[in-house]
Chains A and B, each alone.
Chain A
């Protein structure tokens, strides 16, 4: 019993160390956002200081935060809905009507995530330009939706695979057509899985910066572009950059905090059944 207790203590210690290590930069950024530019770069770093909200007012004065936030919400939710709309039928057919090639297709889709996005920047940029999608929310939804699609399909595929095919067969004998089978049986059964997939997709799209920096300028720019605009070549303003970053991540952090129960439930969906 005693050795087991010690083991638990050891695990807790490692867990907390990792968690604090991951949390510390965010915490430091949060602190820095309340410092003056001078205390922000002071060596040794100042832990105790007079907090100020000047950075926030400066940042909000310079840029229309709400417009960026609105774009971020539109893009992350829009991309997620697009990805789900494409992934649900794809994962359904792969989970319940697998062929010899299903595994290969899944791996191929995942392999696209290994390709650096910059590798297709030029063709995508030219395509988007010719289609008039540059600096549009729709254009960004399209590219972000496609980017998260492989992950969304993979996650849904593994959730759908947990559903015994016989339940869908039973619904077919009850007179359900394919769409009814999907909407009345499969999707309600996989709600926790779909919810956590959607949450993860929203977070990934919210944090996506590459396409938002390269395909938008003003109208469709998201909070990642907003943050980036505070790192200027003339010199870094750490305190202001920290304030901008804090403003950018705050909504998704709160969102993640609220939905963490749902996330964990969905991610361990198969394990607990």
Chain B
């Protein structure tokens, strides 16, 4: 098993720099997820660790040894690809034992290892099939099995679940968590789906335009997003963002004037903003309560029932969209005018540059490291 370290790693394609000097330490046994929108550089970063992409500048270290000049074949890593990348001309068993065959392992030992892994993944009956005779979920299992047979230093996953349907995704997420616990291996997981990162990872690295926007445990990112970008990326439905202006500062309270003319009072960050400063107020849909005499009013455009809960997609008088989470048995209808109350103690305040002002004020204590290059 291995720890992986990135030191000032950059990547340029021609003149176009896609990764800007990233520093990252991935501990042994850690399940780390790289998340970000497409073009954020998450896959490129993974491919550089895998050795499929050259590192333009900086160092990649596996167990303390620089590996920039070590070919993929010799890095001792295993990777599961989005498209599974099974060898179409080989059976499942041959696919899984290919790495062992290349390593010169005897046929008997190969068979034993493949059978053992197949048993863990419950796919012993598939061993003699060719990839084209498998369903997407089965191919995914084979791809994971192929990685496991190698007993690699670390597992790399490049959006492995994105070609599966939703119910299978949920099932595979649990299975990967279970595998991580059983194998006790380092896993680096790339996804654009914050849900996968939230549910599986020990630590999430949010990437944006080739830079680390924030990293931390899933709940840290959810509760204390460092920037507007992270706030918008982690959590579904997205955090509501309201444009506001500081109207008054008194003691520990801050009165904000919202764009629609209404005022809300929120706890002030340690470093008090100036009166008149433009800020953004971030409120998660689950931190809003319907209340007859609430501070905000809106009109329900769409009501989304999810059974146990429902989302009211409302529009405020000034046109801003605002999502409210409520109980599944809500009686609201689209077209209804509703009023609601913000749970201001869990609201987020962002400055004009999109930084979380509570963090700037140093109010919360975090164990995360940031990289605002």
Q: Mark A residues whose CB is within 8 Å of B.
A: 164, 166-167, 169-177, 180, 184-185, 188-189
Contacts and interface: CB of A to CB of B under 8 A. Distances in A.
A204 B245 CA distance: 80
Majority DSSP secondary structure for residues of A touching B: helix
A132 B85 CA distance: 51
A176 B102 contact: yes
B78 A173 contact: yes
Given A172-B51, A176-B98, 15 more contacts: A166-B81, A167-B85, A169-B85, A170-B79, A170-B81, A172-B71, A173-B50, A173-B73, A173-B79, A174-B98, A175-B74, A175-B102, A176-B73, A177-B73, A180-B102
A171 B98 contact: yes
Nearest to B147: A173
B240 interface: no
A171 B89 CA distance: 13
Interface in B52-81: 52, 71-75, 77-79, 81
Contacts of B77: 173
Contacts of A185: 87
A174 B79 CA distance: 9
Contacts of B99: 174-175
B120 interface: no
Contacts, number: 63
B6 to A, nearest CB: 18
Contacts of B87: 167, 170-171, 185, 189
B50 A174 contact: no
Contacts of A180: 102
Nearest to A173: B79
A174 B145 CA distance: 12
B3 interface: no
12 contacts: A164-B83, A166-B85, A171-B98, A173-B72, A174-B99, A174-B150, A175-B99, A177-B73, A184-B98, A184-B102, A189-B87, A189-B88
A175 B50 contact: no
A169 B52 contact: yes
Contacts of B98: 171, 174, 176, 184
B373 interface: no
B166 interface: no
Indicate the member of A172, A180, A184, A185 with the most B CB atoms within 10 Å.
A172
Interface in B300-346: none
Contacts of B50: 169, 173
A233 B99 CA distance: 67
Contacts of A177: 71, 73
A164 B83 CA distance: 10
B353 interface: no
Contacts of B83: 164, 166
B364 interface: no
B146 interface: yes
B103 interface: yes
Contacts of A189: 87-89
Indicate the member of B50, B85, B156 with the most A CB atoms within 10 Å.
B85
Top 5 closest pairs, chain A to chain B, by CB: A174-B99, A170-B85, A172-B72, A166-B85, A175-B73
Interface string B98-119: 1100110000000000000000
A167 B86 CA distance: 7
Interface in B29-54: 50-52
A185 to B, nearest CB: 6
A175 B99 CA distance: 6
